[in-house]
Amino acid sequence: MQHVDDDAALTQAAPMTTPDQLQWKFDLDAVDWNALSHLYRIAPLGEKKPDDLRVSFGNSRYTCLVFDGDVLVGAGRALADGVDCSYLCDVAAHPDYQGIGLGKALIERLRDLSEGHRKIILYASPGKEGFYAKLGFRRMRTAMAIFANQPGAIETGLVE
């Protein structure tokens, strides 16, 4: 598995690709944690350290990693207890693969893996709520959160 700093080759290949033509993995065997960190940085979903990703993905009940050849182009995970709650998080698609349905496919796979839980939750980035509504998610009226960077969460509109 590799990460690509010069993604020019991907830009030409991605528009012809559909999520079903990509390779999906649901285990963490041989994950290149640096490549995963790179994916989050360019998605752009922020800076996630490789060692932190190893811990968070390792502690997740469900994981999805998506490859085009040996290049990681999508990822997501769900924290779940097996009965009551599954929380979908860290869903990312490589910028060259956004707009082909990869993000939707990642959410759908994680939602399907989470089937049987009493509730499946996620929190959307501000402005993305409509995307998740189309996938069956409804706005929660009572969700509350404490963030390690509370001022940053307020600034970006995640909390009031």
Q: In what order do the strands lie in the sheet with 62-68?
A: 23-25, 62-68, 71-80, 85-93, 119-121
pLDDT of residue 8: 45
pTM of the model: 0.86
Q: Which element (helix H / strand E) includes 36?
A: helix 33-42
In a domain, 77, yes or no: yes
Domain CATH number, residue 34: 3.40.630.30
99-151 pLDDT per residue, tens: 999 999 999 999 999 999 999 999 877 888 899 999 999 988 888 899 999 99
Give Cβ neighbours of residue 128 (< 8 Å, ≥ 6 apart): none
In a domain, 56, yes or no: yes
In a domain, 130, yes or no: no
In a domain, 132, yes or no: no
Domain that holds residue 86: 8-122
pLDDT of residue 4: 47
φ, ψ (nearest 5 deg) of residue 65: -125, 135
In a domain, 131, yes or no: no
The region that residue 108 occupies, defined by phi over 0 for left and psi between -120 and 50 for alpha, beta otherwise, is alpha
In a domain, 111, yes or no: yes
Domain count, the chain: 1
Return d(Cα 160, Cα 145) in angstroms, integer: 10
**What mean pLDDT do residues 6-10 have?**
46
In a domain, 86, yes or no: yes
In a domain, 98, yes or no: yes
Residue whose token pair is 């990869």:
102
pLDDT of residue 110: 97
